[in-house]
Amino acid sequence: MTSDLEYTILTFVLWGLLPFLLMGSLAGLLSGLLGIGGGLILVPMLTLAGIGLHQAVGMSLLYILITGFSGALTHFRQGHLKLDLAFFLALGGCIFSYLGTRFSHLLPEAWLSWLFTALVAVIMGLFWKRMRHQESGERKPFRLASGRVIAVLIGSLAGLLSGIFGVGGGFVMTPLLNILLPLSVEESIGTSLAAIVMISAAGAASHFFVGDLFSVLQAQPLAMLFLGGAGALSAPWGARLTRVFSPRQLQAGLFILMGLVAVYMLLFGFHSH
């Protein structure tokens, strides 16, 4: 009787944790492949699994910290990472992530979802324009100083969004680096991931101090373990896949992903209202 009960409990726990394993694997794969932290798709999936938006934000940032490092290391080995620009991206991001965290607690979840959707729509418009007018192989020169200033501004926006929405900011940094600076898609992805590690660390710390992250770790430590472990293992494989796809295919994949998430978060906002 005892063994049957233990087996039943174990089966229930494993089946309960399986969605987190799958979510972590998918988000990690896309993180390494497209240069996003994973929060862009992880936050919607966590809310779909019944976790509140504020807790999903804190959970996502801790996940991004784990998987981002794993993916960035692989991109560094492939030569797809500009460390100087990553530092300046993170400089702006770390400062503004705390402000984003504070701001997120001033607005209802529905408003956060609508703001998220609006921002993704704007970036999709810029990215679409870039894809239509991009000439293959054209790389405009830029002064290093101006590049660093642009990186700080991009990082500041990403940090603000990291604190508000629990995303690493990669869905902003990757397309904007490709739009505003003469970086290849692969370099934009690798540089974005390196900055994400630093920005998400600041965002996770902010959410820990306001209580979001602490409550998640108390309530679902095994879920966080499965989520982060799966992401850490799958992110390097996503990074390796950047060599399989063409720059145009990577751009198209990121564009489609942003569109799907924007639609979901818009619907989530109406449901929460």
Mean of pLDDT values over 234-259: 83
Half-sphere exposure of 232 (CA within 13 A, CB side): 11
At residue 248, does pLDDT exceed 70?
A: yes
Residue type for position 246 = S
User: Looking at per-residue confidence, does 110 or 273 come out higher?
Assistant: 110
Assign 192 to helix, strand or coil: helix
pLDDT score for 75: 84
Question: What is d(CA 174, CA 186) in angstroms, rounded to the nearest whole number?
Answer: 9
Nearest CA among 85, 17, 35 for reference residue 235: 35
pTM over 0.85: no
Question: What is d(CA 231, CA 62) in angstroms, rounded to the nearest whole number?
Answer: 11
User: Looking at per-residue confidence, does 132 or 83 come out higher?
Assistant: 83
Give me the DSSP letters along 15-64: HHHHHHHHHHHHHHHHHHHHS--SHHHHHHHHHHTT--HHHHHHHHHHHH
Contact 249, 91 (CB under 8 A): no
Nearest CA among 188, 166, 181, 176 for reference residue 261: 166
Neighbouring residues of 59: CB distance < 8 A, sequence distance ≥ 6: 42, 46, 51, 166, 213, 216, 220, 224, 227
H helix intervals, 79-184 = 83-104, 109-133, 144-165, 170-180
pLDDT score for 141: 47
At residue 134, does pLDDT exceed 60?
A: no
Most confident of 56-70, 127-141, 199-213: 56-70
Residue type for position 198 = M
Which H or E run includes 208?
A: helix 185-210
At residue 88, does pLDDT exceed 90?
A: yes
User: Looking at per-residue confidence, does 150 or 270 come out higher?
Assistant: 150
User: Looking at per-residue confidence, does 201 or 233 come out higher?
Assistant: 233
The conformation of residue 134, written as its DSSP 8-state character, comes to: P
Question: What is d(CA 192, CA 209) in angstroms, rounded to the nearest whole number?
Answer: 26
